[in-house]
Structure 1
Amino acid sequence: MGMFKRLFNFYINASIHVAFGVFALTHVTIKTFGFIGDDHLAWFLFFGTIVCYNFIKYGVEAKKYIIVANPYQKNIQIVSFLAALIGSYHAYFLQRDIWLGILVLVLLTGLYAIPVLPNARNLRNLGGLKLFLVALVWAGATVVLPTLGSLHTVTWDIWVETAQRFFFVLALLIPFEIRDLRYDDPALRTLPQRFGVWRTKLIGVLFVLLFYVLTFFKDEVLEVEIIVKTLLFFGLIVLMFSFGKNQGRFFASFWVEAIPIAWYFLWVLCLCWC
């Protein structure tokens, strides 16, 4: 049991779980629009997520962004280097059209983690802005990039799906914001600090409503998509009222981050059922 617990903790702390979430959402986009799946892109995003998230969590605190003293973090650093190598292999096979989108997302991620000017704060420390930046990167990575990788035109329905993914990720970030309330510097002015826990949950409900309602703004929408997003809608509404400041240790970092994976499996099950 002790070994399993250590492996599970490492799985979470090394950002492998969140990487599976990105991987799953990439395949959700592929199934939603009937794209020909680009396995190289999906795996590039998986390993790239591990690298980016670990850099943001641990690298920005390391000396010169590389040197870490903590042995546990060194193990995570090794995983990150291996992920970077494997991700680079998959990057070699990506379509040329996709690289501009990747560069934009990498730039946004860099601005999130690294101060642009000496003694300046990064975008991660600008309170509510970080939520929208994270959601924007996720939406771009899991909707726009698969579209470009499949050589499809970015149509109205793609933009609607991108907006939906944006609000979906914003909703998932609400439990993290409330969880971190006790640790965040008051100067950050996060949503819970500005509006309190209850009103922040209501904002989360608004994000969920926008996510769902936008489904019906598409020119073409499949019955299975409506079924899956209806299930997600009710699940996310329940989520918003099932947690507080005192969450279980893995409520946000495992269960909430598993929702994108659940979305993918809902798609698979509904396709089989229908």
Structure 2
Amino acid sequence: MIRSKYFWLGAVMIAIIPLMLMDISEYFVAWEKEVRGRIIDLAQVYSGLPKMQKAGILDNIFEVNQKLTRLIAVKAFISLVLLSGGIYFFRKFLKATSMSFLKPALATMGLIVVFIAGKVVFTIAFTTQPGATFVKVDADAKSFKDIISKNFQGKVVYVDFWGTTCGPCLEEFDNFTQPLKEHYKNRSDIAYLYIANGNNYLWKKQIVNHKITGNHLFLDLDEYSKLYHQAAQNDTAEVLMPHYVIVDKTGKITAPDAARPSDYTVLVGQLDKVLGQ
């Protein structure tokens, strides 16, 4: 055990820096998807939207851009301050001891590992979004049909296959999903299931960042692909994100390639038809 306040002050400062860098890298990935990617999608995928709706989406993108660039700048500044402070306290510690550099270096590395592990565990375990629930899949009931029958009996289910860094998926959440849910807010016989793949660490963060209420399930690539093909009713279909499916109250897939929330009129027609059966 190293008994020096200078060492521990310096070690803690240095150990926090990787957490800042994790955040900065996360913000940069988010900028690539939520700013650059969404602008490209707006030009290519959503080119037919009315001008006023496009303007609203652009305003939202610019707000996200300002937020992310501000966060990157702040975290970078904090990292520099921590680095300077850590070096200062380490120098004071080394001047006051004859200890070799190896022991404090290993202790600092151990502290970094503990901090990173703590951040990952905390994020996965405690990041929550009001109105979001997480579906548990039994080992013996992993098929798409089983998941629907065990969790959504008597309900129409709108299923969204998405990815944690999928730009078009996040675009749908930010600008088109809420009006759909508002339209059906007084109905208790419709449910929303979001099946995700990608980065498990980012998954719950994205649910909070994009305010995705409903039922959530995260799967590894193999399980995701299996459920995707079962829901799409096509074993050879290319896995595309986002992809939507409608299931009726009996558990039957009525629309294996349903409309997106951004195709509001068509989607409402599809859902109303099933809800009215």
TM range (shorter): under 0.3
Answer 1 or 2: which has greater helix percent. Answer: 1
- What TM-score do you get using the length of structure 1 for normalisation? 0.26
Which protein is bigger by CA-based radius of gyration? 2
Q: Normalized against structure 2, the TM-score is what?
A: 0.25
Bigger fraction of residues in strand: 2
